[in-house]
Structure 1
Amino acid sequence: MSPLITIFLLVFIGQLVTWIGKTVLLDIAYNAYLWVIRSPLAARQRALKTQIMANKTELMKTSAQDQFAKWAKLRRSVDKGLADLEKLNSEIASAKSGFAMKFNTALWLLTTGLQFVVGWWYRKQPVFFLPEGWFGPLGWWLALPFAPAGSVSVGVWQMACRRVIVVGERVVKDFIGPSTVSADPSEKSATSTPNNTPKKESEKKDS
């Protein structure tokens, strides 16, 4: 694949990650990870939540005065379940924190890190050559830092791709965004005063 397409795809993927959000991607990846490995922690959490809800429902149906022994037993069961759930949530949060660190590292390597590697690998190779005389004496700037004169370097092409994608994002947002249409003042007054609104006394006298 040519450097032109490779760099554009890498920049686009990096911007796509920014649009979606790392937090959203982390949640999706972590849920998929739990589903693949069949995490016992997640299964215990679901079972414990179901048991707590069942005990709470039974507790609400039990009278503390008429059935105190049963009520006290259910109360202790609910309290113990909530304490166990809090400990389990701490374990899950700790496991997710470790997964998040690995996920963010992998995401950085696959986006920003890979862009650095590709930029260094093709640092002396022109992405494409410009027609002679297009930018005059400023043409040398487009070849910085190591590309041949009269060409566009990898670094400049990366910046151009990122800029075009960001501008394209704004155009799409403006196009699909909610349009505010200003209403006609006469229509506003007509709608604000219904036809069946009774006239004031002064208006009746004038008529």
Structure 2
Amino acid sequence: MELGLLILLVIFATNVVSWIGKSVLVELAFAAYQPFFLRPSYTKQRALKKEILANKAELNATSSQDQFAKWAKLRRKLDKGLADLEKLNGSLSSHRSRFTSLFSTLLYVFTSGLQLVLCWYYRRQPVFWLPYGWTPNAVSWLLSFGGGPKGSISVTAWSFICKRVISTFEDLVKEWIPEVMTMFSKASPAASASAKSDSKAEPKLTAPVPASASTTSEKKPVPIEDDVIEVD
């Protein structure tokens, strides 16, 4: 049982590496590696870039005709800084290449390589024993293929079963995710539409008119040439 679980975990880890992508894992590992082992180099790189920008700005502000000595000194200093920066960048790039190669090798050793070693080392050891007479002879031979005892599930057959189950699960998840996203996308417009209809159905409240305002709007007689005309 422990051997079967170990093989299942190794195969699952191999598939997880394939799902995430080796390049993504290398980037994450190198980002975690930098602060501990390359901090001085990156600090020096930032200082060189800052110094180069300052020297370049000062060089642009210096006249090569009126202040030739100062201009030549700044130019030599700028060229030296650029050369040092290029050398440092090459060193960091080479270090990153070595790290990528080493990390990729470790990924292979602890996933596919470990899987091959387990299948070879435990090739004659059964993972599970099947009940006697539970399967036909042809099926028993297939399940014990790879050197396992007859009537058992060999390491080779168990590895194949685990791969097929994980691959089927991956296909189901890939089919299920778009359906869930479609359901959510259809549900959100309906919810917004119902919210709008509820807001429209709410009665509008009108403020009561004060009594003073109503009295001022009453009709009053205005005398014009001995006649009384009511005006609104």
- TM-score, normalization: structure 2? 0.62
Q: How far apart in 1 are the matches of 2:182 and 2:141?
A: 46
> 1:48-197 to 2 correspondence within 5 Å?
48-52=48-52, 58=57, 81-131=81-131, 132-134=133-135, 137-177=138-178
CA deviation string 1:158-187 (max 9, x = no partner): 122122212222221222237679xxxxxx
- Give the CA deviation at 1:16: 1.1
- Secondary structure, aligned partner of 1:177: helix
- Whether the 8 Å contact between 1:62 and 1:71 is mirrored in structure 2 is no
Structure 1: 5+ residue stretches without partners? 182-207
Q: How far apart in 1 are the matches of 2:158 and 2:52?
A: 58
- Secondary structure, aligned partner of 2:143: helix
Opposite residue 85 of structure 2, the aligned amino acid is: L
Q: CA RMSD in A?
A: 3.4
Opposite residue 148 of structure 2, the aligned amino acid is: A
Q: Report which of the two has the higher share of strand.
A: 2
Counterparts in 2 of 1:28 and 1:63: CA distance versus 1, 3 Å: same
Q: How far apart in 2 are the matches of 1:107 and 1:47?
A: 35
Q: How far apart in 1 are the matches of 2:102 and 2:7?
A: 25
Counterparts in 2 of 1:83 and 1:156: CA distance versus 1, 3 Å: same
Q: How far apart in 2 are the matches of 1:166 and 1:126?
A: 24
- Secondary structure, aligned partner of 2:93: helix
Structure 2: 5+ residue stretches without partners? 184-232
Opposite residue 89 of structure 1, the aligned amino acid is: N
Q: How far apart in 1 are the matches of 2:55 and 2:171?
A: 52
Q: How far apart in 2 are the matches of 1:105 and 1:51?
A: 39
Partner residue, 1:193: none
- Give the CA deviation at 1:140: 0.7
Q: How far apart in 2 are the matches of 1:135 and 1:55?
A: 83
1:6 maps onto 2:15 in alignment: no
Q: How far apart in 2 are the matches of 1:64 and 1:135?
A: 95
CA deviation string 1:111-150 (max 9, x = no partner): 1221122222321122113353445523211111211112
Structure with bigger gyration radius: 2
Q: How far apart in 2 are the matches of 1:96 and 1:149?
A: 50
- Give the CA deviation at 1:2: 0.8
Greater RCO structure (CA 8 Å; 6+ sep): 1
Sequence identity percentage: 44
* Equivalenced residues, count: 180
